[in-house]
Amino acid sequence: MNRIGIIAMLIWSLIIGAACAFTIEKPLPDAQQELRAKALFHEIRCVVCQSESVADSPADIAADIRRMIREQVAKGASDSDIKASLVSHYGDYILMKPPLNNATFLLWFGPALVLVTAFFVAMRFFRRSRRIRS
């Protein structure tokens, strides 16, 4: 391989290495604070993935939220203050367990309502089909 090729590969590996260094998240120096932050990561939903917590999500916005949570924990903010800040920015849906209120009523009871409705529709369908056969 010629010198230009080797130099190009070295430059490319430096660029890739620098990009990887920026994506690695640095834990908090205090172990108790890091544990608290990680517990919060599991209580916050990724706004891109929507079915994963920010602890499990590889999305960039999840990394930003994790970074913000770590900053707030390091500053001494309480868990409820951090959650309130996220809710004010993203809405109740950001919480893995959103509060029960008018805005989240369907989120909590929607699946049960769909199931009950499907049950009654199925019952009516089968009763009607029995009458037709008779």
Beta carbons within 8 Å of 70's beta carbon, 6+ residues apart: 25, 27, 28, 34, 37
Task: Please report, for residues 7, 15, 16, 23, 24, the alpha-carbon distance to residue 10 in angstroms, rounded to integers and kept in the order given.
Answer: 5, 9, 10, 20, 21
**49-102 per-position pLDDT tens digit:** 878 999 999 888 999 999 999 999 999 999 999 999 999 999 888 999 888 888
Q: Is the pLDDT of residue 14 over 80?
A: no
The answer to whether 119 and 76 have CB atoms below 8 angstroms apart is no
pTM strictly above 0.85: no
